[in-house]
Amino acid sequence: MELNASLFGREKRSDGRFPHQLRPPAVEVGLLHRADGSARFRLGDTSVTVAVYGPSEAQQQRKTLLDRAYVEVLVRPLSGPADAEERSREAILQKIFEAAIDTPRHPRTVVQITVQPMNNDKPMMHVCVVGIYMALLDASVPLRSLPLAVALAYRPLPQGSPDTDFPFLVDPLHTELAACEGCIVIVLDASHRRSKAERDEGDEALPSSAAAAAAAVRRASDAPRGRVLATFPECGGAMPPEVFHTALKVAENACKVLDSFVRLSFERRLTLLQAAFRVQNSHGGDDDDDD
């Protein structure tokens, strides 16, 4: 119904971005040596350090669940003691990651996730979610779904302005929020896109009749796995339902950017690790290891 044009904004913002653009992401993975996995993820200037310990043996009786792992999230504020704000963040992150981590694989263990925001920017839940995701990848914790998150601020514009069809600001700055009705965070599952593509690829290998049959079955009962893991208001974001459905599409576009970023970051690391592994192995055999 709506053209793709309404998934992009036209009028530039105060920092030079278009309304549909994220700030540039950056990450440092594996920076904490004691932790099983760690990541410092940045979106522009908003930065979060995450440490993951686990799955490790549950030391306390109350943290022992017989059929799955116990996922614990701790959010440490920049300064001062943790209060209600941190606790409600912990609650949301805990619910998201308890569903995302493959907990039945490691019963009677604890996965402890510690999140430390490096500055006081708001909104920052989306940065926390991606930071935790990358730290979990670093720790090689098995995941059921791959959560990527983006924050969207909603600001309805009057008719005649260039962005009437695109009443959003993706990845808003704190200063931009004052002019907006509210802000929501949408958490999507990155794995959906890959599995659908893999399904399509897999069909080519079958003989043509089987491929046609498989395609027909898929079309008939096409229940897409779906993509949304979580959505919640960061500071009061109510909008008409049609606008919310557009917001989901906008969030999907933004998450594609994050998805590519995560893959690139880890692919580079993986090739370095593989090269180091090969070098180490060839060391044992002969003395020449010019590669």
Partner 1 sequence: MDPELFRRVQPADFLQRQLADGARPDGRPFTATRKMKLNTNSLPNCEGSATLRCGSSLYVAGVRGEIGSPTDAAHPSHGRIVVTTDFSKLCGADFRDEAGPSQNLSVLLSKTLTQLVNHHKAIDLSQLCIKETEAVWVLYVDVVCLEYDGNFADLPLLASVAALRNVRLPVVTYDTSAKAYRRTTDEATQRVHFKSSPVCVTFSRVLDEDAYWLADPTREEEELGTALTVAFVGGAGEREVTPIRWGGAPVDLERVSRRLLPTASRIKEDVYDALLVG
Minimum CB separation of residue 68 from partner 1 in Å reads 9
* Residue 115 touching partner 1 (CB under 8 A): no
Closer residue to partner 1 in complex, CB, 81/284: 81
Minimum CB separation of residue 240 from partner 1 in Å reads 6
Question: Contact, 269 vs 216, CB < 8 A?
Answer: no
Q: Tally the C-alpha atoms within 13 A of residue 221's C-alpha that lie toward its C-beta.
A: 3
**Alpha carbon distance 86, 125 (integer Å):** 11
Q: Considering CB under 8 A, how many residues would be counted as binding partner 1?
A: 49
* Best CA proximity match to 125, nearest among 178, 172, 180: 172
Closer residue to partner 1 in complex, CB, 31/65: 65
Binding mask 21-60 for partner 1 (x = CB under 8 A): ----------------------------------------
The interaxial angle of helices 191-204 and 208-220, nearest 10 deg, is: 150
**Alpha carbon distance 157, 244 (integer Å):** 15
Closer residue to partner 1 in complex, CB, 21/145: 145
Site for partner 1 in 67-106 (CB under 8 A): 70-72, 84-85, 87-88, 90-92, 94-100
Closer residue to partner 1 in complex, CB, 96/153: 96
**Alpha carbon distance 165, 161 (integer Å):** 9
Report in angstroms the alpha-carbon separations of 27 from 124, 152, 154: 15, 22, 28
Amino acid letter for position 269: R
Closer residue to partner 1 in complex, CB, 18/244: 244
* Joined tokens for residue 105: 């694989």
**Alpha carbon distance 225, 260 (integer Å):** 21
Site for partner 1 in 184-243 (CB under 8 A): 184, 187-189, 191-192, 224-233, 235-241
Q: Tally the C-alpha atoms within 13 A of residue 94's C-alpha that lie toward its C-beta.
A: 17
* Best CA proximity match to 167, nearest among 16, 22, 10: 10
Closer residue to partner 1 in complex, CB, 32/184: 184
Minimum CB separation of residue 88 from partner 1 in Å reads 4
Minimum CB separation of residue 16 from partner 1 in Å reads 26
Exposed / middle / buried, residue 250 (Cβ in 10 Å: 0-12, 13-18, 19+) = buried
Partners of residue 25 on adjacent β-strands:
43
* Residue 248 touching partner 1 (CB under 8 A): yes
* Residue 113 touching partner 1 (CB under 8 A): no
Minimum CB separation of residue 58 from partner 1 in Å reads 13
Minimum CB separation of residue 210 from partner 1 in Å reads 25
The residue ranges that bind partner 1 (CB under 8 A) are 62, 65, 70-72, 84-85, 87-88, 90-92, 94-100, 144-145, 178, 182, 184, 187-189, 191-192, 224-233, 235-241, 244-245, 248
